[in-house]
Amino acid sequence: MTTLTGISSKVILRTSGVSKTFGKFVALNNISAEFSRDAITSIIGPNGAGKSTYFNLLSGAFPPSSGKVEFEGRDVTNVAQHEFAHMGIAKSFQITNVFPLLTTRENVRVGLQAFVSRYEIWRPRAKLPGLVDKADELLALVGLWDRRERLAKELAHGEQRALEIGMALAANPRLLLLDEPTAGMSPEETRVMMDLIVKLARERTVILVEHKMKLVMGISDRVLVLHHGELLAEGTPTEVRQNEQVKRVYLGQREH
Amino acid sequence: MPPLSFDLIALQLFTGLALGAIYVLFAIGLSLIFGMLTVVNFAHGAFYMVGAYVGLFLLSLGGNFWLCLLAVPLIVGTCGLIVERFLIRPLYGRGIDYPLLLTFGLSYVMVELIRIAFGKSGYPFDTPEILQGAVNIGVGYFPLYRLFVIGIAAAVLLGLWLFLERTSFGLIIRAGARDPQIVRVLGVNLSRIWLFVFGIGSGIAGLAGLLAAPLQGVIPEMGATILAEAFVVTVVGGMGSIGGAVIAGLLVGVVVSMTSLFAPEMAKVSIFALMAIVLLIRPQGFFGRAGLMS
Amino acid sequence: MNELSQTLTQPVVASAAWFEFAKRHRAFLASTVVLVFPLVMPFTALAVNILIYGLYAVGFNLLFGYLGLLSFGHAALFGTGAYLCGIAIVHFAWPWYAATAMGILGGAVMAAGIGALAIRTRGIYFAMVTMALSQCVFYLFYQAINWTGGENGLRGINVRTIDIFGLQFDFINPLTRYYVIAAFVILALFALSRILASPFGAVIEAVRENEARARASGYNVTLTRLITFILSGAFCGLAGALMALHLSVVPIEILHIETSGMVVMMSLLGGMGTFFGPFVGAAVFLLLENLVSLWTVHWQLIVGAVFVICVLFFPAGIWGTILKRINP
């Protein structure tokens, strides 16, 4: 019953009172939030606000010290990382994370293969139907089709980030989690990436963590502001922009 | 089989502690080097073996055991310095497996060089005269030399602790084990510290070999066996933790001596069973990898 | 400028096509080498040794080269294969093929046991735990004297003829023995090539390349490692079983730490992560051993030094370096 209401519900992901401590250090303190389906939600905050920790909890990289994470009504707090892709949650990492010595196409093909065959040791993988075509399709979508034969490590930084998104899309996710997708990018690359994110968000829910506030204000439906591991504010971009506390801790310190 | 009395068990416990003291000395060097350099030194057993042979050689020249206690760690430590500087240093940044592979190959070379110099068969190593005999430790007579080994190990640990806690050089080592980046930012030359730590670690391994020699004799292969056993100590105690190495080393020594009392045929296998249990319950070992001395 | 760059890339493209061809038919090409090999060797017994140790190294390389896990306990898998094959023949009078199957199974089961414990640890612990556990296996076999002969080794594995499909091969004749063993090695090579080309082969590469990404892509990294370890164990178990048939004894030294170290050396010397490298490594190692032994008993000194030089200057190994030259 819960699953049924979960899927039809407007809330795709919910955290209830999650905290994370590393030794004595409290990285995240008692955060409760809901993320709407088919929207772009951005998590912002200055350096050390706990954004990445929160992202890791949402994407299952490690479990919270306390609290609960629910995806479509299902408790996923202690679900293993590799199960997330199979549930329909995909992510891209903050630091570029591709398979460097595989070709660009193979990177995406491996991502697709996870949903077709994982432990077969005898059938030639060339005989798995349609994976290469599907991979090329995704590469075209993220603008890397003409680079498909290159090794991933030979791609430019911006291209590697795009490849990572292509790999995340291989899971055909209902929820796409992006950790600072434009980190280290040139203004031109950043613009291309933001366009891509908007395009992808038409068909799925997107949650992104971003350090540069200005960047996400224009495209987000909702914004969460973290500060010192606490949830400082939450609302539409306009509401957040006008929030006095946010102005004080975030805008006041000037963007870098 | 003699009747099992409380005294017998207590004596066996002390035997285990003496054996454990050797493990501790061996394993702290291994842990110190890993904690700082993230190098698993597969030549550590070879340094241990070289320590015993250097002692043997010095004694044959007419030196005495007390001189050896000083000279062996210095000589073996110097070998360690040379190895780090010229063989391991070029490999930093090439991935964690390469220094491991290199030190493994090096141990082959060292063992063979010793075989060339001293022959393939082993030698007995006499307990120094003044340390022969036994003393009454309350529960019965206990070999004086084993007591001496425990004492030396304790002294080395104390010295190491004072050095790491009370000197500025020690402070840098501890900081470097926690976060090499910070130390580098502070303008400290890390490569010199790594060199030094490798030297200390190998020196202590050499000392352990010397101390073990009167108990077990001296053969070129003596390093390989203790290396596998020291890995058990490291896994049980937690890699990179000196506190873990001390507690796990003593524990392993006691487990070996107790099983050889109660179930001699299980003595060799017992410590691996201990390791298996620790891996199942707490894969990161007693003290995890939380940095040096913590 | 454009023309220049075109002429520069031309030969690379040509050799890439050749390279692709070679890669597709790697098992076939390797088999050809195996078939003509004894004809160029000084004596057949050495060729048999190279064949069996080569297979042992191939099994090890599946784990080290393709998956990136460094095990220092493969002697336990090799040795278990040899002992179980030997015990099946000596104590139970099993036919040779059943005993060989027993060896393969033994290697795989031992790998499952060691792997289940060792894979709980991360990174650098793996080498240490596998080494310690294989030392434990050594003591277990050493003490089971009634089954293994303890220090004296397991004696009396006398297989005189090998019958396959009604044909009888004289196993005493060195050259026939070589080709019988070669048949198994070739089958194993084809199996390995097939595994590497399978979907699971792609998962192995992905896990080696980037563990976190593989996990995020939906692959169970721990399970992948365990399965690969077991497959590696099956290959090494087969190598061990063939060793038992070849030597007609199983010496206890087969479980020594040196036997684990030797396969690490062979793989790295030949070129880890290459299909044929382990054979090259085994051949170089054993030829070096035989050659150096002619003038000094201290061959380990030379082998160790060569290995150290290889780690320092040729981490891709002999075969790996050659492949890089051909296909940069």
Kindly write down the DSSP assignment for every residue of A183-238, as one continuous string.
Answer: TT--HHHHHHHHHHHHHHHTTSEEEEEES-HHHHHTT-SEEEEEETTEEEEEE-HH
Residues of A in contact with C197 (CB under 8 A): 124-126
- Of A238-247, B93-102, B172-181, C316-325, the range with the lowest mean pLDDT is B172-181
Q: What is the pLDDT of residue B3?
A: 63
Q: How confident is the model at residue B210, as a pLDDT?
A: 96
Q: Which chains touch A (3 or more CB pairs under 8 A)?
A: C
Interface touch C216/A81, C-beta < 8 Å: yes
> Are C247 and C154 spatial neighbours (Cβ–Cβ below 8 Å)?
no
User: What is the distance between the alpha carbons of residues C263 and B115, in angstroms, rounded to a whole number?
Assistant: 23
Can you give the pLDDT at residue A75? 95
C-alpha–C-alpha distance, residues C117 and B282, integer Å: 11
User: Which pLDDT tens digit goes with each residue over B159-218?
Assistant: 999 998 888 888 888 777 777 777 777 777 788 888 999 999 999 999 999 999 999 999
Task: Measure in Å the smallest separation between the Cα of C281 and chain B Cα atoms.
Answer: 15
Domains of chain A: 1-79+211-256 (3.40.50.300)
pLDDT confidence of C31, banded at 50, 70, 90? confident
Question: Parallel, antiparallel, or unpaired: how do β-strands C167-170 and C161-164 relate?
Answer: antiparallel
Ramachandran bin of B285, using left for φ above 0, alpha for ψ from -120 to 50, beta for the remaining angles: left
Q: What is the pLDDT of residue C3?
A: 40
The residue of chain C nearest to residue A112, with distances taken between CA atoms, is C217
Q: What was the pLDDT predicted at A5? A: 45
Chains contacting C (3 or more CB pairs within 8 Å): A, B
Name subunits touching B (3+ CB pairs < 8 A).
C
Residue bearing the bigger pLDDT, B282 or C261: C261
In a domain, B25, yes or no: yes
H or E element that contains A14:
strand A11-22
Higher pLDDT, C69 or B188: C69
What sign for the dihedral angle of Cα C224, C230, C235, C236? positive
Q: Is B280 in Cβ contact with C132 (below 8 Å)?
A: no
pLDDT for position C6: 37
- Interface probe for C, chosen from B94, B97, B239 (most Cβ of C below 10 Å), is B97
pLDDT 10s digits, A165-220: 999 999 999 999 999 998 888 899 899 999 999 999 999 999 999 888 888 888 99
What is the reported pLDDT for C283? 93
CA distance C220 to B146: 50
* CA closest to A90 among chain C residues: C216
Q: How far is A241 from chain C (nearest CA, A)?
A: 34
Ranked by mean pLDDT, the top range of A173-187, B267-281, C35-49, C81-95 is: C81-95
Is B105 in contact with C315 (Cβ distance < 8 A)?
no
Measured CA distances, B244 to B160, B250, B288, C227, C282 (Å): 15, 10, 8, 32, 39
Q: Are B165 and B44 in contact (CB under 8 A)?
A: no
The pLDDT of residue B74: 97
> Do the Cβ atoms of C78 and C56 come closer than 8 Å?
yes
pLDDT at C28: 83
Q: How far apart are CA C284 and CA C276, in angstroms?
A: 13
Q: Which domain holds residue B145?
A: 6-220
What interface predicted TM-score (ipTM) does this complex get? 0.90
Q: Give yes or no for a contact between A69 and A76, defined as CB atoms under 8 angstroms apart.
A: yes
Residue of A nearest to C225 (CA): A119
The count of structural domains within chain B is 1
Closest CA–CA distance from residue A117 to any residue of chain C (Å) = 6
Q: pLDDT confidence of A251, banded at 50, 70, 90?
A: low
What pLDDT is attached to residue C224? 97
Distance CA(C146)–CA(A201), nearest Å, equals 70
Whether residue C12 is predicted with pLDDT greater than 60 in this model: the reply is no
A118: closest chain C residue by CA: C200
Residue of chain C whose Cα is closest to the Cα of B115: C298
Q: In 3D, which of A171, A10, A22 has the Cα closest to residue A91?
A: A171
Under 8 Å between Cβ of B156 and B207: yes
The closest alpha carbon to A117, from C208, C201, C196, belongs to: C201
Residue C40 in this model has a pLDDT that exceeds 70: yes
In a domain, B89, yes or no: yes
CB contact under 8 A, C216 and A59: yes
- Selected for mutation to probe chain A from C217, C220, C327 (highest A CB count within 10 Å) is C217
Per-residue pLDDT at C199 exceeds 70:
yes
pTM to 2 decimals? 0.91
pLDDT-wise least confident of A38-47, B267-276, C37-46: C37-46
Percent of chain A at pLDDT above 70? 94
**Whether residue A12 has pLDDT greater than 70:** yes
Tokens representing C183 are 């048949």
% of chain A at pLDDT higher than 90: 70
Chain C residues with CB under 8 Å of B102 CB are 308, 311-312
A127-172 pLDDT, tens digit per residue, is 898 999 999 999 999 999 999 999 999 999 989 999 999 999 999 9
Total CB pairs under 8 A between chain B and C: 112
Give residue C15's pLDDT band: very low, low, confident or very high (50, 70, 90): low
pLDDT at B171: 85
The reported pLDDT for the residue numbered B291 is 34
Distance separating alpha carbons of residues B141 and B238, to the nearest angstrom: 35
Please give the Cα distance from B230 to B223 (Å, whole number).
10
DSSP one-letter code for B128:
P
Q: What are the chain A neighbours of C67 within 8 Å (beta carbons)?
A: none
Structure token digits, residue C316:
């891709």
Mean pLDDT value across chain C:
89
The pLDDT of residue C96: 92
Q: Find chain C residues with C-beta within 8 A of B115's C-beta.
A: 298
Q: Which residues of C touch A115 (CB under 8 A)?
A: 218
Q: How would you class A91 by CB atoms within 10 Å of its CB: exposed for 0-12, middle for 13-18, buried for 19 or more?
A: buried
Q: Which residues of chain B have pLDDT under 70?
A: 1-3, 288-294
Residue of chain B with shortest Cα separation from C118? B279
DSSP string, B48-102: HHHHHHHHHHHHHTT--HHHHHHHHHHHHHHHHHHHIIIIIGGGTTS-THHHHHH
Whether A101 and A151 have beta carbons less than 8 Å apart is answered as yes
pLDDT tens digit string along A96-137? 889 999 999 999 999 999 999 999 999 999 889 899 999 999
- Strand A205-210 and strand A175-179: the pairing is parallel
Q: Residue C205: what residue type?
A: E
**Interface check A80 vs C, CB under 8 A:** yes
Residue B251 in any domain: the answer is no
